[in-house]
């Protein structure tokens, strides 16, 4: 299924913390990222892709467009999705993550705004966030193919012409030729798994010093 | 058609094997490895310029003929290797690992619940003993083991005979997965060579023998600087070992060919390292003239030849020995000298060792730390070499059976911790790093399987 990138505006992260940010000792464990779509009409969300950076749990809330005149409400579509199985260790800390609409708790038909709530309970990490956030909507469906008539309604077999004297059976010849053709196609298409293994260039392996790039 | 299908499934099996569970993305890996690689390249380049020896040179025809005649006895050659020095030794590599830091990690001065008291400061996830017991369940007290239940006091009818019979059946069926499961309880000596070949998917087709002959021709045609490093390493390590000096000629035949094998380059797809690059002289910067050096991308370090030496007990035909070594290298051994976050990578093994020691032998760990003898400084060299050259060969082969059976190198860290546990009483009395090294200098009398079993399943915690 094709997908189309939706241009989005990612607002700066807001840390949620009890008490005064400046005087408290610990680092915030909850961050909120708002994602708006200023120039796009309400769309159906297909996929969310991002690169994790030490976030342990992700919750996503969505605000959808409603047809009636009631104000749109925030609904949780993903709750406490675990990105790092052990928040204290490296596993999952820098992975690329894809979330699909079938993983969401609610329908994502008319998305207006998204709110990502990131949680990292471990005090060991200096910062955490998600990077390279990309939102996709469903792309246009591929045009349906119409088969040509002769493919869907094969012509019935014609009566074979009578054999001429001394010549081999044409159906047998054609099947043998077909087999040979199939073999040549196979040989042409198959990649040999063994490599030639040449490490030199035209027989020459006279090198400069090693490069540092 | 059938041959193609079985070849294809072989290749797929190998690829799936290697890709499983590789985590190669961490930022810290790339930075640390980059600077370490640069150091190695600089060292090689400076050796090249100081000694005025080219990195690669085409041999004149006379020299080629001579080498071909001497191919089976290259050990008798006594070239002057005094000016060559190994590019790096395990202890240099340990220093790099000690200095690995995650820039996002709280490395404050105040002690917290996660302060690393050992040398490794990277917070990778490692298993604890309950998880290891689950992983190594076949090493438990109620399961028969070769290395324990085949000792002379135990009548063979109890376990050994039946185990050998099952092994022969597995070989007749040529079932690779069954062989991997079977070998977790150890392999009978007579069946080991075939079982390892079955697990590693090595079969001697004519094209494999031809490939090896092609590599041999490459060795004869071109002389590489890396060859001298290999010579030096073999002379320093394997030739001095009581068990392995007889295999010196085999080691040259395998390692020199290994350096020219470009198929090894494919393992860099799942190795965070990258092979050193260079250009043909006079064509600097032109991509069509870019080549890898050495052709297989692997620069040997001090002790590298010890990866091959134990295999010489099992395989005597050079092309089969070569294939087995190459497969073992691209599946397991490369993880022991490259930085990655893989659970079988050397960083995780070091952290696993230190965590096991700290958790289950806290007094010993604290004591050794206090006297300036961080345990990892002693056990690192064992793990980097997969204990080759430190254990008696029959014990080493029993250990490597389990590496193949569990497809993981974690058992090396567990064994290292078990050795410390075994000699804990003596270690508690030492007062310096040198004395601690002396207590642990000789491992040749140790029996591997009882140590592992006791440490995992019989220690009261």
d(CA A110, CA A192): 51
Average pLDDT for residues B188-207, to the nearest whole number?
92
Q: Which residues of A touch B114 (CB under 8 A)?
A: 88, 124
Query: Of A29, A35, A67, A65, which Cα lies nearest the Cα of A48?
Result: A35
- Strand, coil or helix: what is A125? strand
Q: Residue B253 has what pLDDT?
A: 92
Q: Residue B24 has what pLDDT?
A: 37
Q: B104 and A95: CB-CB below 8 Å?
A: no
Q: Residue B45 has what pLDDT?
A: 87
Tokens at B322, concatenated? 């070569």
**Nearest CA distance, B283 vs chain A (angstrom):** 9
Q: For residues B177-199, b (16+ Cβ closer than 10 Å) or e, as one string?
A: ebbbebbbbbbbeebbbbbbbbb
Tokens at B128, concatenated? 């604890």
Residue of A nearest to B57 (CA): A206
Query: Of A149, A205, A190, A112, which Cα lies nearest the Cα of B4?
Result: A190
Q: Where are the beta strands (DSSP E) in B144-276?
A: 222-224
Q: Residue B277 has what pLDDT?
A: 84
Average pLDDT for residues B208-220, to the nearest whole number?
91
Rounded alpha-carbon distances, angstroms, from residue B199 to A184, B18, B162, B206, B226: 35, 13, 21, 20, 31
pLDDT of A192 higher than 60: no
Q: Which residues of A touch B56 (CB under 8 A)?
A: 205-207
**ipTM confidence score:** 0.73
d(CA A135, CA A5): 6
- Strand, coil or helix: what is B178? helix
Q: Residue A79 has what pLDDT?
A: 93
Q: What is the DSSP letter of B458?
A: I
Q: For residues B339-366, b (16+ Cβ closer than 10 Å) or e, as one string?
A: bbbbbbbbbbbbbbbbbbbbebbeebbe
Contact (CB, 8 A) for B272 and B33: yes
Nearest neighbour of A197 by CB, restricted to B25, B49, B261: B261
Query: What does pLDDT average to over chain A?
Result: 81
d(CA B149, CA B143): 9
Q: Residue B454 has what pLDDT?
A: 93
Average pLDDT for residues A161-181, to the nearest whole number?
76
Kindly give, in sequence order, each residue whose CB lies less than 8 Å from that of residue A175, ignoring residues fewer than 6 positions away. none
Return the percentage of chain A with pLDDT > 90, whole number: 29
Q: Which residues of B touch A195 (CB under 8 A)?
A: 262-263
- Structural Rg of chain A based on CA atoms: 31
Give per-residue pLDDT as tens, A198-210.
777 666 777 777 7
Model-wide pTM > 0.80: yes
Kindly give, in sequence order, each residue whose CB lies less than 8 Å from that of residue B60, ignoring residues fewer than 6 positions away. none
pLDDT confidence tier of residue A150, bands split at 50, 70 and 90: low
Beta bridge partners of A78: A60
Give per-residue pLDDT as tens, B318-327.
999 999 999 9
Cis peptide before B210 (omega within 30 of 0): no
Q: Residue A156 has what pLDDT?
A: 63
Tokens at B163, concatenated? 């185990």
Query: What does pLDDT average to over chain B?
Result: 87
Q: B125 and A86: CB-CB below 8 Å?
A: yes
Contact (CB, 8 A) for B146 and B192: no
CA A101 to chain CA centroid, Å, is 12
pLDDT confidence tier of residue B17, bands split at 50, 70 and 90: very low
Q: Residue A190 has what pLDDT?
A: 63
Say which residue, B151 or B12, is predicted with more confidence: B151
Q: Residue B418 has what pLDDT?
A: 96
Give per-residue pLDDT as tens, B164-177.
999 999 999 999 99
pLDDT of A22 higher than 70: no
pLDDT of B65 higher than 80: yes
Give per-residue pLDDT as tens, A131-149.
999 999 887 776 666 666 6
Return the percentage of chain B with pLDDT > 70, whole number: 92
pLDDT of B274 higher than 90: no
pLDDT confidence tier of residue A166, bands split at 50, 70 and 90: low
Residues of A with CB under 8 A from a CB of B: 53-54, 85-86, 88-91, 93-95, 123-128, 190, 193-195, 197-201, 204-213
Contact (CB, 8 A) for B319 and B216: no
- DSSP character string of B343-398: TTSHHHHHHHHHHHHHHH-HHHHHHHHHTT--HHHHHHHHHHTTTTTTS-HHHHHH
d(CA B390, CA A212): 36
């Amino acid at each position: 299924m094709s997908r189309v990138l939706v241009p989005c505006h990612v607002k700066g992260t807001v840390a949620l913390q009890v008490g005064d940010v400046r005087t408290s000792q610990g680092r915030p464990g909850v961050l909120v990222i708002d994602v708006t779509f200023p120039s796009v009409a309400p769309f159906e969300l297909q996929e969310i892709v991002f690169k994790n950076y030490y976030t342990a749990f992700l919750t996503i809330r969505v605000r959808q467009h409603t047809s009636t005149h009631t104000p749109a409400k925030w609904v949780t579509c993903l709750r406490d999705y675990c990105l790092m199985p052990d928040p204290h260790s490296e596993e999952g800390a820098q992975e690329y993550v894809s979330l699909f609409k079938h993983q969401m708790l609610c329908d994502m038909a008319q998305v207006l705004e998204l709110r990502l709530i990131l949680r990292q309970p471990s005090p060991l990490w200096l910062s955490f966030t998600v990077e390279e956030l990309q939102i996709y909507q469903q792309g246009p469906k591929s045009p349906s193919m119409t088969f040509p008539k002769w493919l869907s309604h094969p012509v019935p077999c014609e009566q074979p012409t009578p054999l001429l004297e001394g010549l081999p059976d044409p159906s047998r010849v054609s099947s043998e030729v077909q087999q040979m053709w199939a073999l040549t196609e196979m040989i042409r298409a198959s990649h040999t798994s063994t490599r030639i293994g040449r490490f030199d260039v035209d027989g020459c392996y006279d090198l400069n010093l090693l490069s540092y790039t | 058609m059938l041959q193609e299908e079985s070849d294809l499934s072989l290749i797929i099996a190998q690829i799936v094997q290697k890709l499983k569970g590789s985590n190669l993305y961490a930022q810290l890996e790339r930075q640390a490895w980059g600077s370490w690689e640069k150091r190695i390249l600089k060292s090689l380049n400076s050796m090249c310029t100081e000694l005025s020896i080219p990195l690669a040179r085409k041999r004149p025809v006379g020299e080629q003929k001579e080498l071909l005649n001497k191919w089976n006895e290259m050990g008798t050659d006594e070239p002057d290797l005094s000016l060559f020095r190994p590019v790096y030794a395990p202890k240099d590599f340990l220093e790099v690992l000690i200095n690995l830091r995650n820039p996002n990690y709280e490395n404050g001065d105040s002690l917290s619940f996660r302060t690393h008291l050992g040398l490794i400061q990277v917070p990778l996830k490692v298993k604890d003993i309950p998880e290891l017991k689950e992983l190594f369940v076949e090493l438990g007290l109620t399961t028969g083991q070769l290395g324990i239940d085949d000792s002379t006091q135990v009548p063979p009818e109890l376990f050994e005979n039946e185990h050998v019979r099952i092994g022969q059946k597995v070989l007749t069926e040529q079932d690779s997965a069954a062989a991997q499961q079977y070998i977790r309880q150890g392999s009978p000596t007579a069946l080991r060579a075939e079982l390892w070949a079955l697990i590693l998917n090595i079969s001697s087709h004519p094209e494999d023998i031809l490939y090896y002959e092609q590599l041999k021709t490459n060795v004869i045609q071109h002389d590489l600087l890396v060859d001298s490093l290999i010579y030096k390493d073999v002379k320093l390590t394997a030739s001095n070992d009581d068990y392995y000096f007889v295999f010196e000629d085999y080691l040259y035949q395998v390692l020199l060919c290994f350096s020219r094998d470009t198929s090894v380059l494919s393992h860099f797809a799942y190795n965070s390292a990258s092979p050193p690059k260079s250009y043909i002289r006079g064509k600097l910067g032109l991509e069509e003239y870019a080549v890898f050096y050495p052709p297989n991308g692997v620069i040997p370090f001090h002790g590298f030849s010890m990866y091959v030496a134990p295999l010489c007990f099992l395989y005597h035909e050079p092309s089969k020995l070569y294939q087995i070594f190459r497969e073992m290298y691209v599946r397991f051994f490369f993880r022991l000298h490259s930085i990655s976050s893989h659970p079988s990578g050397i960083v995780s093994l070091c952290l696993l060792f230190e965590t096991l020691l700290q958790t289950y032998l806290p007094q010993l760990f604290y004591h050794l730390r206090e006297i300036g003898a961080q345990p990892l400084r002693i056990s690192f060299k064992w793990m980097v070499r997969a204990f080759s050259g430190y254990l008696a060969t029959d014990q080493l082969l029993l250990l490597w059976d389990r590496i193949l059976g569990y497809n993981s190198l974690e058992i090396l860290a567990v064994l290292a911790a078990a050795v410390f546990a075994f000699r804990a009483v003596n270690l508690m009395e030492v007062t310096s790093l040198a004395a601690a090294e002396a207590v642990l200098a000789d491992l040749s009398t140790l029996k591997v399987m009882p140590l592992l079993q006791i440490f995992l399943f019989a220690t009261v915690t």
